[in-house]
Amino acid sequence: MIVLEKRPQPSKAWSYATPLVAVLATMVFGGILFTILGKNPIEAIGTIFWEPLFGEFAFYYRPQLLVKGAPLVLIAIGLSLGFRAGIWNIGAEGQYIMGAIFGAGAGLAFYPIDAFYVFPIMVLAGAFGGWLWASIPAFLKVRFGTNEILVSLMLVYVAEQMLASVSLGLLKNPEGFGFPGSRNLQSYDAAHNAELISGSGMHWGVVTALIAVIFAYVLLNRHMLGFHIRLTGEAPRAAKFAGVNPARLILFCLGLSGALAGLAGMFEVSGPSGVVSIDFNVGYGFTAIIVAFLGRLHPVGILLAGGLMALTYIGGEIAQSQLGLPAAAIQVFQGMLLFFLLAFDLLTNYRIRAARSEVA
Amino acid sequence: MDLGEINPVLLVASLMVAATPLLLAAIGELVVEKAGVLNLGVEGMMIVGAISGFATSVETGSPWLGFLAAAVGGAVLSLLFVLLTQVALANQVASGLALTLFGLGFSALLGQGYVGVKPPSMGEIHIPVISDIPVIGPILFQHDPILYVGIALTAAVWAVLKYTRAGLVLRAVGENHDAAHALGYKVIKIRIMAIMFGGACAGLGGAYISLIRVPQWTEGMTAGVGWIALALVVFASWKPWRALLGAYLFGGITVLQLNLQAAGVAIPVEYLAMSPYIITILVLVILSADKSSAPASLGRIFHASH
């Protein structure tokens, strides 16, 4: 008989090891999945994890890592602060969309003025859009005690409809021959979030993501507010006695995560994507949840996890075109990762022991 | 725009059809939450149920086998949640999200060959005389059998929770798992059964969408119904009959907005399409003031240390 014994302190070693174990387990079970799909598992896993970094066309894929990783890291950093305090924003996808709509809207409002202030205004507008969208569940939770999980998620569907509405109406390209979608911001210099170093994939979103990592690290380790966030998550009662204001914490965590998701959306729409269109969002807001957990809600961990998840995105696309692996298989692969992570986390908090037969 | 084209009898009849997936999923989740477990994976279990039901009925030609497969599919997926939250003692919110993310991907993978395929029809019940009564007949007595299963399930869950010993034990586990454990009830075992029941119900609800309501398969076709079902449980204050009422209310909104779209009302389609989600939020706001009826152990991890 095996019993679980709660550790007095979560194991440090296991808290570092579980993400690695989870990745390995995902590779094994992902390999089994790919075998069932009739693909060579070693080749498929190799294509996903090796090809983008060291393969023949790595020079093309490596910059893509930054492009795909930046929004994931940016969103996940914001989510992790809330998750630590038990505030569950799972509507980042909606905030990402609203950030893109507000950011692109602000930029297109200035079209075709070519001035230095256009891009900064777009950045502010994008952050504002995301903040606004996340503040709805925050306000409702503070004022009425409404569940923020359900409200933030419902707002994703609302945001998707908004996106459809503006791509067909308000932001539609007047010179687009009637096709849905906005003007391409890539061809509007003042609004274009171009690569800072050509061919590197490095754009303002990547810079912002790195700043967010540092900011979150300092906040959590060196600032009273960060301490309050951690305290609320780990010992809610102690937090109450320490004078933590829960309403302020909710407004801050949700608002900040919304603003970061909004920024991610804005940098995406003004850079790699370029166009506000119906299918603009691709699920970064949901994948970022996996990134946040995989990174153990720690800023540096999230940076690494974001890179890994970006790798599965790009590697998945390569496997799709080279091996004919279905896109959904990669989605399952990413979902599995979160599963194994949560499962192996048991070892961080509990010790597994063989039970001795004892007298009851 | 022509509102006169909306036939009130058809509207009410289709309202019941639109409400059934919500009702099935919500009744399942209600039982799960009554046992003190918060499973946010409803959307994932629904979509897996939708495709397992769809694939099975296309392959076998039998919608009944399809619904059976959907229930099994939902329950099997819920076992993953069991593994995470009851065995590995993981956080229920995160595990539920994992279940949904995984379910959405997994269903898309399973459903690749089924896009654009038409499933076999289940047909409608037709009772001579009763089904032919004007107005009442088409509203109440001309539906597919699963719709009645949903209503029967609501009644059964209500009766079991209220009048039977099993229901009492389930509620005890949900209210105070430590006390229930001290009395000798198998908390984990009871919760596992509740979670699997919830999974089976969600699976049925999903299959109802893919086999009867729509009926076809598209990726992500549940489109948030699972999440609305979660909201519905709060709306219902964990009472089965109120869940039925709530499901019909939401079904009504969905059908009405579709009818308004078809009638060409001057409101843009996108705004009509977002209305069910906005109304869900409004209802949550109005009802969340009173949390007294929530099971006291909801979402808390149980670990028997002795």
CA angle A352, A354, A357 (to 5 degrees): 140
The CB density around residue B121, as the number of other CB atoms within 10 Å, is 12
Question: Would you call B231 an interface residue with chain A, using a CB distance cutoff of 8 Å?
Answer: yes
Instruction: At A60, list the tokens.
Output: 């093309």
Q: How confident is the model at residue B202 (pLDDT cuts 50, 70, 90)?
A: very high
Which residue in A has a C-alpha nearest to residue B267's C-alpha? A165
- In this predicted structure, the answer to whether residue B98 has a pLDDT above a threshold of 70 is yes
Mean pLDDT of A193-211: 80
Instruction: At B8, list the tokens.
Output: 């009130």
Amino acid B125: pLDDT: 67
Question: Would you call A161 an interface residue with chain B, using a CB distance cutoff of 8 Å?
Answer: yes
CA proximity to A313, closest of A341, A343, A347, A290: A290
Alpha helices of chain A — where are they, by DSSP H? 12-36, 41-49, 51-54, 58-84, 92-110, 118-144, 148-168, 204-222, 224-234, 236-241, 246-270, 284-294, 299-323, 327-344, 346-349
**Which CATH number is correct for B3-112+142-287, 1.10.3470, 1.25.40, 1.20.120, 3.40.50?**
1.10.3470
Q: How confident is the model at residue A73 (pLDDT cuts 50, 70, 90)?
A: very high
Alpha-carbon distance B169 to nearest alpha carbon in chain A (angstroms): 24
Quick check: A336 and B84 CB within 8 A?
Answer: no
Q: How confident is the model at residue A272 (pLDDT cuts 50, 70, 90)?
A: confident
- In this predicted structure, the answer to whether residue A135 has a pLDDT above a threshold of 80 is yes
Q: How confident is the model at residue B1 (pLDDT cuts 50, 70, 90)?
A: very low
Amino acid A356: pLDDT: 62
Considering A199-208, A230-239, A297-306, the range whose residues carry the highest mean pLDDT is A297-306
Ranking A4-8, A223-227, A254-258, B78-82 by mean pLDDT, the lowest is A4-8
Which residue in A has a C-alpha nearest to residue B91's C-alpha? A342
Alpha-carbon distance B1 to nearest alpha carbon in chain A (angstroms): 20
Q: How confident is the model at residue A61 (pLDDT cuts 50, 70, 90)?
A: confident
Q: What whole-number distance in Å separates Cα of residue B80 and Cα of residue A242?
A: 38
pTM of the predicted model as reported, rounded to 2 decimal places: 0.87
Quick check: B105 and A335 CB within 8 A?
Answer: yes
- Residues from chain A contacting residue B289 (CB–CB below 8 Å): 144-145
Sorted by sequence, the CB contacts under 8 Å of residue B279 that are 6+ apart come out as B250, B253
| Amino acid at position B214, single letter | V
**Tens digit of pLDDT for each residue in A139-165?**
998 888 888 888 998 899 899 989 988
Quick check: B108 and A155 CB within 8 A?
Answer: no
Asked whether the beta carbons of B50 and B231 are under 8 A apart, the reply is no
Provide the percentage of residues in chain A whose pLDDT is more than 70.
Answer: 98
Asked whether the beta carbons of B186 and B300 are under 8 A apart, the reply is no
Amino acid A360: pLDDT: 47
Asked whether the beta carbons of B131 and B137 are under 8 A apart, the reply is yes
- In this predicted structure, the answer to whether residue A96 has a pLDDT above a threshold of 60 is yes
Q: Which domains does chain A have, with CATH numbers?
A: 62-325 (1.10.3470.10)
- Residues from chain A contacting residue B303 (CB–CB below 8 Å): 4, 6
Quick check: A329 and B109 CB within 8 A?
Answer: yes
**Tens digit of pLDDT for each residue in B8-37?**
777 777 788 888 899 999 999 999 988 888
SS3 A6: strand
Interface test with B, best of A15, A155, A161, A289 (most B CBs within 10 A): A161
Q: What is the 3-state secondary structure (H, E, C) of chain B?
A: CCHHHCCHHHHHHHHHHHHHHHHHHHHHHHHHHHCCCCCCCHHHHHHHHHHHHHHHHHHHCCHHHHHHHHHHHHHHHHHHHHHHHHHCCCCHHHHHHHHHHHHHHHHHHHCHHHCCCCCCCCCCCCCCCHHHCCCHHHHHCCCCHHHHHHHHHHHHHHHHHHHCHHHHHHHHHHHCHHHHHHCCCCHHHHHHHHHHHHHHHHHHHHHHHHHHHCCCCCCCCCCCHHHHHHHHHHHCCCCHHHHHHHHHHHHHHHHHHHHHHHHCCCCCHHHHHHHHHHHHHHHHHHHCCCCCCCCCCCCCCCCCCC
DSSP state of A185: G
CA proximity to B101, closest of A291, A331, A90: A331
Instruction: At B197, list the tokens.
Output: 């029941």
- Residues from chain B contacting residue A329 (CB–CB below 8 Å): 105, 109
- Residues from chain A contacting residue B104 (CB–CB below 8 Å): 331, 335
**Tens digit of pLDDT for each residue in A174-190?**
777 777 777 777 777 77
- List the 131-170 stretch of B: residues with Cβ below 8 A of A: none
Cis peptide before A112 (omega within 30 of 0): yes
Quick check: A88 and B93 CB within 8 A?
Answer: yes
- In this predicted structure, the answer to whether residue A313 has a pLDDT above a threshold of 50 is yes
- Residues from chain B contacting residue A90 (CB–CB below 8 Å): 97
**Tens digit of pLDDT for each residue in B248-287?**
888 888 888 877 877 777 778 888 888 888 988 888 888 7
- In this predicted structure, the answer to whether residue B135 has a pLDDT above a threshold of 70 is no
- List the 79-138 stretch of A: residues with Cβ below 8 A of B: 88, 90
Amino acid A296: pLDDT: 85
| Amino acid at position B220, single letter | G
Amino acid B140: pLDDT: 67
Instruction: At A216, list the tokens.
Output: 């979150």
Alpha helices of A111-147 — where are they, by DSSP H? 118-144
CA proximity to B33, closest of B218, B204, B157, B159: B157
Q: How confident is the model at residue B292 (pLDDT cuts 50, 70, 90)?
A: low
DSSP state of A357: P
Q: How confident is the model at residue B200 (pLDDT cuts 50, 70, 90)?
A: very high
What DSSP string describes A291-336?
Answer: HHHHTTT-HHHHHHHHHHHHHHHHHHHHHHHHH---HHHHHHHHHH
- In this predicted structure, the answer to whether residue B2 has a pLDDT above a threshold of 60 is no
Mean pLDDT for all residues in chain B: 82
ipTM above 0.95, yes or no: no
Mean pLDDT for all residues in chain A: 85
- In this predicted structure, the answer to whether residue B142 has a pLDDT above a threshold of 80 is no
User: In terms of pLDDT, which residue wins out, A275 or A156?
Assistant: A156
- In this predicted structure, the answer to whether residue A133 has a pLDDT above a threshold of 60 is yes
- Residues from chain B contacting residue A290 (CB–CB below 8 Å): 101
Which residue in B has a C-alpha nearest to residue A278's C-alpha? B270
**Tens digit of pLDDT for each residue in A289-308?**
889 988 888 899 899 989 88
Of A145, A146, A339, nearest to B80 by CB-CB distance is A339
Q: What whole-number distance in Å separates Cα of residue A186 and Cα of residue B280?
A: 38
Mean pLDDT of B164-193: 84
Quick check: B281 and A157 CB within 8 A?
Answer: no
Amino acid A79: pLDDT: 92
